[in-house]
Amino acid sequence: MQHRWDIFCTVIDNFGDIGVCWRLARQLTQDHHQLVRLWVDDLTSFAYIASNVNPKVQQQVILSVEICHWQRVFIEVEPAEVVIEAFACELPDVYVAAMLQRKKQPVWINLEYLSAEPWVVQCHGLPSPHPHLPLIKTFFFPGFVQGTGGLLREKNLMVQREAFTTTAEHAFLQRKRLLEYKSGEIRISMFCYDTAPVIKFIQVLSKSSVPIMLIVPQGSVAERITTLFHQAKSQTERLLRHEQLTVQIVPFMEQVDYDRLLWSCDFNFVRGEDSFLRAQWAGSPFVWNIYPQTEGAHWKKLDAFLDLYTVGMSREMGDAVREMWAFWNGRYEINSTVWLNFLSCREFLTQHNNYWIKRLLKQNDLASSLVQFAENQL
């Protein structure tokens, strides 16, 4: 049954939150034929990953999703039947007041961050009554195991990945003006926070025994690499070369194209939540740069994921993965030995990732879980 949905999103780290919300909004409309209105407080950042978004327009429809600028002074609107408060962003007071006026209380969902921590299963689906008003919202936790809300995954995602043949890849590389593969080359995508040890890793890659192609989106990390190479300010599609390493700096891509970039790379360095999950669906070896939190809370989150992800790995491969992830997140200083150990596991990691994907596919995807939950409440 078709229902109206409102998704509220505040942009915190530029792309992670809106990346998740934009994928969810599109999937709800395309796979489940729901009517979705997406409220976003930063349309400029949004436009980096959705080029059709006009930051100067307060209300627009793109890919059947109504996109509205969430301004500080919130306009009075009729609330939807299903309301998603993404990542505890707090709904506007005027909107909450309007929810009270509906004959039937909206299904109010607090969509939480993705985590592999064991407590998530216990907290998923718990009701949270409003402290002053007769409204109840429900905590909805994405997750990697049964008993959680599942993961974002479009119905045709795996079919599309399988259809990404050599011919399709060649057409993609040409369209995005990415360099073609060289024989024996290792291709790496890198999307990370400023806290990652990028410069040290660049030095390690430059000394590689085989050619390395590194693809980096424009931004502060690209600027640091450019400075290291003693070049002028980075430009779109700028090529930088040093010894065995070639760096191509590219503009931000639409999410569909970013998926294809991940499919075309041998290794993917990703960050936050959205690209982290898409790297898993891509199947190539990946390294996660987790969002740093106060008092080191992010280490528990990272270790919890690794505890799940490394099940079935040999001890040597598990150690290589944990060391690479620890070094990339600043627990220790990165060195060539750590990278070479990780690199040597490439074939086995790809096999393991296929097993990991099959395990995740046994779950309901997040959008389907949300639709089913809303149907049960309505």
> Which residues are CB-contacts of 128 (< 8 A; sequence separation ≥ 6)?
110, 136, 137, 138, 139
> Which residues are CB-contacts of 109 (< 8 A; sequence separation ≥ 6)?
82, 83, 84, 85, 137, 138, 140, 370, 373, 374
Distance CA 23, CA 256 (A): 10
Question: CB count, 10 Å around CB of 208?
Answer: 17
Distance CA 215, CA 346 (A): 18
Dihedral angle over CA of 33, 39, 42, 47, nearest 10: 20
Question: What is the set of active-site residues?
Answer: 17, 273
Question: CB count, 10 Å around CB of 366?
Answer: 25
> Which residues are CB-contacts of 178 (< 8 A; sequence separation ≥ 6)?
172, 215, 248, 250, 261, 264
Distance CA 172, CA 188 (A): 16
Dihedral angle over CA of 126, 127, 130, 136, nearest 10: 140
